[in-house]
Structure formats: structure tokens, C-alpha cells
Amino acid sequence: MTSLLLAFDDEARLARALSDELSVPLALVDRHVFPDGETRLRLPPALPPRVAILRGLQQPNAKLAELLLAAAGARELGAIELRLVSPYLAYMRQDMAFAPGEVVSQRHVGRLLASVFDAVVTVDPHLHRVATMDEVVPGRRGVALSAADLLGALVAERLPGALLLAPDEEAEQWVTRAAVGRGLGHAVCRKQRHGDRDVDVALPDVDVAGRAVVLFDDVASTGRTLVTAARGAFARGAASVDVAVTHALFVGDALAQVRAAGVRHVWSADTVPHETNAVSVAPLVAAALRAI
């Protein structure tokens, strides 16, 4: 059983919900960023043997460095069993060398986390060529939860009978899970990526005319996937287009672009703190921590 939850102030909302669910105390890590970008962390000076650290890895590079410092510090201060809850786990997409010489970041970030944590719990990691989180953190316990049911239930309540569209084949797993048993239709688009902000999305051969379409994906980053899919759905006569995503990264002008494409509602899970958060993964994460 975890007996203390450590978290950072920018994720305090989810941290409080999780500490309530687990009925364990929460301590926020005191963090100071020096003018040159270095970070000084201060943890409670005496830690119990079983500690969980909550840290999502949006803006991954700075947070990874902080997380490694926090984990090392926690061990020195008494933590014997140390678990990571990383609701959004970055670096999962680079899971093979797509060109000679490319570093397979997923493998190395996974090994790095396995070297400092006893278990890693995450939500909807972008696993494609690797089947389980156990493989990502070799020798340690890896748990992949999904927000698809939470988001599917929300859509079914707000828009009964809506058509869920996965913008690419990789999202088929989530859209199927969200739709089945909830009276929602689902179909899968085909996506071709030409660059960071340049994608083509071909809609499937289903009739979207007059229907409430919900684009359903694991992550929105630049938002260009959603923009292109939304435009395609409107061009085919969709009555409305809404969006449900687990991880609302929405970098830069992404949300504005999505709204400019005519998207009405954007719903996300609270894995990444964002104004669109509509469902909480705290109960799921708490249950997973209890079960480990």
C-alpha cells in the first residue's frame, strides 16, 4: 500500500483527487527554478517506505530531469518502494528506428524509468509495436490504464447515438472500447503524416451526413489531425463535430485551430491539466495502485 503521494504544484488538482481516493497524505514537492534553468527540489525530510510520485511528462525533457532528481532524493530520504504515476507518458511514439541511426526513445526512456521506479502506472500510452507497459519498463511492473470508457460514457450521455471516428488506425483500440455497449457508432479513418503539422485524413466509407460526429483519439498535440478530420466530416455533411481525447496537450494555437475548424465541444481526461478536462482518471489510478 502506498503511504504517501508526492506531486508537483502544476498537477495539484489531480494529486488531491488521487490522495482522496487513496486516503493517503499528499505532499507537494517544493521546486525552485534558478535563472539558468537548473531546478532545486525539496521533499519532506523523512519519507515512509512506500511512496508514489505523480508526474505527467508533458513538456517531457525538463520534467524527466526533475523526475529523476525527485526519485533519487526520495530514495535517499527513506522511500524503499517507489512507484511512478505518469498519467501522460511521453516518448512512447518513437518505438522503432524509422530511419537508420534514429534513437528508439521509447526503449531508453522505459529503461531509465525502470532503473529508478519499482512500478510505473500510466494512462493510454501510445503503444503500437509494443504490446504492454511491462515490456516498456523491463523487470518492473508496468500498468496501462485507459480513459476510453470514461470518455465513451460521457459522449453517450451528452450525445446519444453519436458516431465516434478514430482519426487513424492506431486509435481503433480506443474508439472501439469507447463505443461498444453504449449505443455509439464507430469507424476508423486513415491518416498519412507528412510533417509535424501536415497530415491527410481520409474518412472511412460510412455515411456521416446529418450525424453528430465525435473525433476520438489518445492525444491532441498540434491539433492538426483533429482539424483535418473535422474538415473532412463537415465536407461530408456532418451535423456537428465534437472531440474527445485522453491527453489534451494542445500545444501553441492548437485549440484555437480546432475551434476554428468548427469543432463545438472538446472533452479530455485530466491526465494533462487543461481547460477541456471533463473526466477524472483519479479513481482508475487509485484502483491500479491498490492492486499492484
Q: Give me the residues that bind ligand R5P (CB under 6 A), please.
A: 167-168, 170-171, 199, 217-225
Q: How far is the CB of 232 from ligand R5P (least distance, A)?
A: 14
Q: How far is the CB of 53 from ligand R5P (least distance, A)?
A: 25
Q: How far is the CB of 170 from ligand R5P (least distance, A)?
A: 5
Q: Give min distance, CB of 10 to ligand R5P, in A.
A: 21
Give dist(CA 192, CA 195) in Å, integer.
9
Closest distance to ligand R5P from the beta carbon of 199 (Å): 6
Give 2 or 246: the residue with its C-beta nearer to ligand R5P: 246
Question: How far is 264 from 33, CA to CA, in rounded Å?
Answer: 38
Cβ closest to ligand R5P, residue 86 vs residue 222: 222
| Owner of C-alpha cell 483527487 | 17
Beta bridge partners of 267: 244
User: Residue 221 or 276: which CB sits closer to ligand R5P?
Assistant: 221
Q: Which is nearer to ligand R5P, 1 or 251 (CB)?
A: 251
CA distances from 124 to 49, 80, 98 (A): 29, 27, 22
Q: How far apart are CA 176 and CA 231, in angstroms?
A: 22
Cβ proximity to ligand R5P: between 43 and 248 the closer is 248
Q: Which is nearer to ligand R5P, 148 or 171 (CB)?
A: 171
Q: How far is the CB of 258 from ligand R5P (least distance, A)?
A: 9
The HSE-up count of residue 275 (CA atoms within 13 Å, CB side) is 5
The catalytic residues are 191
